[in-house]
């Protein structure tokens, strides 16, 4: 598991609080946000769509659960999809497709069993901007619903991190 630097969001406990912070930061910074989801199957998008004045900053999402959608719609290189490369290409693809300033891509294995020789709880996510794409890998404990919930929190936290630190990078 990759160690993440502090984002200042560790004390925020709920998806709702993180989504509200994404909304606030995106509005204040004039950033347009988009997501490409596989593992979380639209849960991140659902949280962002609830954000204050979402129509002003939230561009939308592609829920690319099937690998063919990843390949054809998002431009992911055909091959294994539980990878860092896939998460990066999902983020970059949805950023281009939806003309966003900040985009996130997430793929992984919710469980209960392994997939593509990766254990349940494997998460790859990436955040793309015009300047760069960064990614992280995590191994989350729990049953499938717990993995998806924690992966959603992780995504929202990484969006906050980008919206806070992105201009400084």
Work out whether the CA dihedral 68, 35, 60, 38 comes out positive or negative: positive
Going by C-beta distance under 8 Å and a sequence separation of 6 or more, which residues neighbour residue 32? 26, 57, 58, 59, 98, 99, 100, 101, 102
Q: Whole-angstrom Cα distance, residue 8 to residue 31?
A: 20
Q: Whole-angstrom Cα distance, residue 74 to residue 21?
A: 27
Count the alpha carbons within 13 Å of 3 in the hemisphere toward its beta carbon.
1
Q: Tell me, what's the pLDDT at 13?
A: 73
- pTM (2 decimals)? 0.92
Q: Tell me, what's the pLDDT at 102?
A: 98
> What are the pLDDT digits (tens) for 27-40?
999 999 999 999 99
Q: Tell me, what's the pLDDT at 42?
A: 98
Going by C-beta distance under 8 Å and a sequence separation of 6 or more, which residues neighbour residue 42? 61, 63
Q: Tell me, what's the pLDDT at 3?
A: 36
Q: Tell me, what's the pLDDT at 20?
A: 97
Q: Tell me, what's the pLDDT at 167?
A: 57
Here the tokens at position 50 are: 């609830």
Instruction: Point out the residues of the chain with pLDDT beneath 70.
Output: 1-12, 167-169
The DSSP bridge partners found for residue 127 are 104, 134
């Amino acid at each position: 598991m990759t160690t993440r630097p502090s984002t200042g969001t560790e004390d925020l406990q709920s998806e709702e609080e993180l989504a509200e912070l994404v909304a606030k930061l995106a509005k204040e910074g004039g950033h347009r946000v988009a997501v490409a989801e596989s593992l979380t199957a639209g849960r991140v998008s659902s949280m962002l769509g609830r954000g204050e004045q979402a129509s002003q900053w939230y561009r939308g999402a592609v829920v690319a659960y099937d690998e063919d959608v990843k390949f054809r719609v998002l431009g992911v290189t055909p091959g294994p999809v539980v990878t860092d490369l896939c998460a990066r290409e999902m983020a970059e693809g949805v950023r281009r497709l939806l003309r966003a300033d900040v985009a996130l891509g997430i793929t992984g294995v919710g469980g209960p069993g392994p997939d593509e020789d990766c254990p349940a709880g494997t998460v790859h996510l990436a955040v793309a901007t015009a300047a760069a794409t960064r990614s992280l890998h995590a191994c989350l404990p729990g049953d499938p619903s717990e993995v998806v919930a924690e992966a959603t929190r992780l995504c929202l936290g990484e969006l906050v991190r980008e919206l806070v630190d992105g201009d400084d990078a």
